[in-house]
Amino acid sequence: MDDYGLTDKVALIAGGGSRDDGIGNGRGAAILLARSGAKVAVMDQDLEAAEKTVAMIRAEGNDAAAFACDAADEDDCKRLIDAVMDTYGRLDCLDNNIGIGSRNSVVDEPLETYRKVMQVNVETMFLISKFAIPAMISSGGGGSIVNISSISAIRPRGLTTYTASKGAVIALTQAMAIDHGPDGIRVNCVAPGPVYTPMVYVRGMSEDARAARSKASILGVEGTGWDIGQTVRFLLSDQARYITGQVIVVDGGVSLRSPERDSAG
């Protein structure tokens, strides 16, 4: 067991499923948290995807349970937190990892799509946190939350609705950190760069496109869901006890270069 101070803590991963055996950001975080001794509640709108993550965790001898939730529904979010509390009796950590993309400008973006992206990328974090935070307070040990943004929020390259939503995630994170610091709850944000996850490759990606994404990094390497998961685990752990309200960029240095619309995630 490693020294993250996560043993027997309960961590909820919102958006912890993934395609097939692929390692997305949420699944990577869930597996790593479990390896560090946390009891992991894996939530996804697709229960089968959450159950696959749970099976991977249990195969390593660790503790996890799967939950289905429509995170855009307030009542369902309340039911989710109630179910986690009924299962484990406490809640210590939350990884808000739900999100979708969009590539249009304000001129081209349908209003329906704009509203959907904002709802999925921002409102779900708002709703899950609304019920998770009181559960953390009642658990008596403070807590830690990580919200997943994107380097698009700090280095815009078009993708206007997506960029706006991920910028809102950063603002939400910082406001939550101020609101709930007195409760002993830390709130931080991870901004991934181009990461090779099932969300990316199920849409189809040529080898040339994949190579270009790697080249965009000043390290010349490609990010994975494990890289994001490692950062989430650190921020949720006791090792980050003096860190709150911060945005941690995990992009191999991509954001140090000039923006290129198709080079990063």
| Run of H or E including 14 | strand 10-14
Beta bridge partners of 187: 145
Question: Which distant-in-sequence residues (6+ apart) come within 8 Å of 182 by Cβ?
Answer: none
Q: Are 193 and 255 in contact (CB under 8 A)?
A: yes
DSSP state of 59: H
CA pair distance 115, 255, nearest whole angstrom? 27
CA pair distance 158, 103, nearest whole angstrom? 7
At 253 the three-state DSSP class reads: coil
* Residues classed as catalytic: 162
